[in-house]
């Protein structure tokens, strides 16, 4: 842990990537842990100490629609999205002594943070009721679905308060878009841990996406109209896959869609890998681009789930995601003086923010760290470095042509 923290301090002070620290050679997993710690620590440590509201600066999009409400929910956004991204790593056991020590610290913080988030007497009791809170309650629920260790180690009192908080989202009617998966994910949490759940809220999302909103070539529309953005990755496909993982054990009627979704998800993983340019940049298109590496939530999730398509070697995906992490988190002005994220994709770029973006929203970038939930012995981490598609092509290497997915 001392080595990780030492290297983190170097990055923080110098503003350069760990790759340039020739006196301290590290592997890619250690590099990911350094960046994960740099992003997650200010959020998780502060809420564990009941100081997130006191210490997290709230910066709102210049186009913000409702400053008062966006400010209130920003803290839930930051905590839920951070926890969602690091939860598989928290669920893992073993590793180097430094990593185990770091994980144990984060486990302690996470348990305390959850307890404060759902305790109405705590300073950091979070906003659970309303429109945007539905979104981030679902990211919180997904974190617990991904990390049984957290749920199993919460006190009985905190468990009941979590259930109460998540049930308080039920009166909120979701927007007719990817939002219908937010209600489905919360019910999936209840299902996974043996609570009474509403299967209709899950069925609604499954039916719309399976029967109406698949547009072709590995992508769904986000509601009635297709938008060229990253929402298939931010929300849609990771949610569909994680919901089906849980619900399929209870309801076999989804098996047909699950088989179809497997093909769709593999195709979209191929597309995502090809979107990563040779320098780690990617197209600046669509809503929510300030989620940075969260644009590759799906590719990271497929890696974690060990469901990458056969043509994608885990090592090339690892290297591609490493390039994205460096590109989106190492630019000057990415972080405030207190270590919190600034609005932007590559540094501080507030004009990129949509009307709903605030400091808390940015922490969906933590989802790129999902593969840290795989042990260091897994092929994803242990295989030698390999170039990804763009790196091969723009270095003059011959590669197979890309082809669309045709489902019949």
Q: What is the pLDDT of residues 318-341, one digit of tens each?
A: 999 999 999 999 999 999 999 999
Secondary structure string (H, E, C) spanning the chain: CHHHHHHHHHHHHHCCCHHHCCCCCCCHHHHHHHHHHHHHHHHHHHHHCCCHHHHCCCCECCCCCCHHHHHHHHHHHHHHHHHHHHHHHHHCCCCCHHHHHHHHHHHHHHHHHHHHHHCCCCCCCCCCCCHHHHHHHHHHHHHHHHCHHHHHHCCHHHHHHHHHHHHCCCCCCCCCCCCHHHHHHHHHHHHHCCCCCCHHHHHHHHHHHHHCCEEECCEECCCCCCCCCCHHHHHHHHHHHHHHHHHCCCCHHHHHHHHHHHHHHHHHHHHHHHHCCCCCCCCCCCCCHHHHHHHHHHHHHHHHCCCCCCCCCHHHHHHHHHHHHHHHHCCCCCECCCCCECCCCCCCCHHHCCCCCEHHHHHHHHHHHHHHHCCCCCHHHHCCCCCCHHHHHCCCCCCCCCCCCCCC
Domain for residue 8, yes or no?
Answer: no
Q: What is the pLDDT of residue 26?
A: 85
Tell whether the model's pLDDT for residue 22 goes beyond 80. no
Q: For the chain, what is the largest distance between any 2 Cα atoms, rounded to a whole number of angstroms?
A: 62
Q: What is the pLDDT of residue 252?
A: 87
Summarize pLDDT for 156-209 with one digit per residue, the tens: 999 999 999 999 999 999 999 999 999 999 999 999 999 999 999 999 999 999
Tell whether the model's pLDDT for residue 118 goes beyond 70. yes
- Domain containing residue 346: 27-393
**Is 26 buried (19+), middle (13-18) or exposed (0-12) by CB count in 10 A?**
middle
Domain for residue 92, yes or no?
Answer: yes
In terms of Cα–Cα distance, which of 155, 147, 19 is closest to 93? 147
Instruction: Give 25's pLDDT tier (boundaries 50, 70, 90).
Output: confident
Domain for residue 219, yes or no?
Answer: yes
Q: Among the listed ranges 82-91, 245-254, 304-313, which one has the minimum average pLDDT value?
A: 245-254
Instruction: Give 7's pLDDT tier (boundaries 50, 70, 90).
Output: low
* Residues facing 219 on adjacent strands: 216
Q: What is the mean pLDDT of residues 219-231?
A: 97
What pTM did the predictor assign? 0.94
Domain for residue 144, yes or no?
Answer: yes
Summarize pLDDT for 130-147 with one digit per residue, the tens: 999 999 999 999 999 999
Domain for residue 134, yes or no?
Answer: yes
Tell whether the model's pLDDT for residue 265 goes beyond 60. yes
Tell whether the model's pLDDT for residue 408 goes beyond 80. no
Tell whether the model's pLDDT for residue 94 goes beyond 80. yes
Summarize pLDDT for 48-68 with one digit per residue, the tens: 999 999 999 999 999 999 999
CATH number at residue 246: 1.50.10
Q: What is the pLDDT of residue 18?
A: 41
Instruction: Give 250's pLDDT tier (boundaries 50, 70, 90).
Output: confident
Q: What is the mean pLDDT of residues 5-28?
A: 52
Instruction: Give 11's pLDDT tier (boundaries 50, 70, 90).
Output: very low
Domain for residue 404, yes or no?
Answer: no
Q: What is the pLDDT of residue 24?
A: 59
In terms of Cα–Cα distance, which of 178, 172, 173, 170 is closest to 198? 170
Q: What is the mean pLDDT of the chain?
A: 94
Based on the structure, what is the number of domains in the chain? Answer: 1
Q: What is the mean pLDDT of residues 353-375?
A: 98
Domain for residue 246, yes or no?
Answer: yes
Tell whether the model's pLDDT for residue 396 goes beyond 80. yes
Q: What is the mean pLDDT of residues 230-251?
A: 96
Q: What is the pLDDT of residue 15?
A: 36
Q: What is the mean pLDDT of residues 74-93?
A: 98
Domain for residue 12, yes or no?
Answer: no
């Amino acid at each position: 842990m001392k080595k990780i923290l030492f290297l983190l301090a170097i990055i923080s002070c110098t503003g350069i990537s760990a790759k340039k620290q020739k006196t301290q050679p590290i592997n890619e997993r250690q590099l990911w842990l350094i960046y994960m710690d740099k992003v997650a620590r200010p959020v998780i440590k502060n809420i564990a100490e009941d100081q997130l509201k006191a210490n997290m600066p709230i910066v709102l999009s210049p186009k913000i629609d409702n400053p008062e409400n966006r400010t209130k929910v920003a803290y839930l956004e930051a905590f839920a999205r951070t926890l969602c991204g690091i939860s598989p790593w928290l669920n893992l056991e073993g590793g180097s002594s430094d990593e185990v020590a770091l994980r144990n610290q984060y486990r302690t913080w996470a348990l305390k943070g959850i307890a404060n988030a759902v305790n109405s007497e705590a300073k950091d009791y979070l906003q659970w009721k309303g429109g945007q809170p539905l979104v981030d309650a679902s990211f919180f629920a997904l974190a617990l679905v991904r990390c049984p260790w957290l749920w199993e180690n919460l006190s009985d009192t905190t468990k009941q308060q979590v259930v109460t908080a998540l049930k308080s989202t039920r009166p909120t009617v979701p927007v007719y878009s990817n939002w219908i998966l937010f209600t489905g994910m919360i019910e999936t949490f209840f299902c996974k841990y043996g609570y009474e759940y509403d299967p209709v809220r899950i069925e609604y999302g499954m039916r719309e996406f399976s029967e109406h909103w698949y547009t072709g070539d590995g992508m769904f529309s986000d509601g009635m109209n297709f938008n060229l953005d990253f929402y298939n990755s931010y929300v849609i496909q990771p949610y569909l896959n994680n919901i089906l993982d849980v619900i399929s054990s209870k309801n076999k009627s989804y098996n047909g869609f699950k088989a179809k979704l497997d093909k769709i998800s593999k195709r979209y993983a191929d597309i995502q890998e090809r979107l990563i340019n040779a320098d780690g940049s990617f197209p600046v298109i669509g809503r929510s681009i300030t989620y940075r590496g969260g644009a590759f939530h799906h590719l990271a999730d497929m890696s974690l789930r060990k469901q990458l398509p056969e043509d994608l070697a885990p090592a090339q995906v690892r290297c591609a995601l490493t390039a994205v992490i460096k590109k989106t988190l190492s630019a000057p002005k990415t972080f405030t003086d207190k270590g919190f994220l600034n609005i932007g994709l590559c540094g501080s770029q507030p004009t990129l923010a949509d009307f709903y973006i605030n400091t808390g929203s940015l922490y969906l970038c933590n989802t790129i760290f999902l593969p840290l939930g795989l042990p260091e012995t897994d092929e994803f981490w242990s295989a030698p470095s390999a170039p990804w598609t763009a790196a091969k092509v723009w270095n003059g290497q011959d590669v197979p042509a890309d082809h669309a997915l045709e489902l019949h």
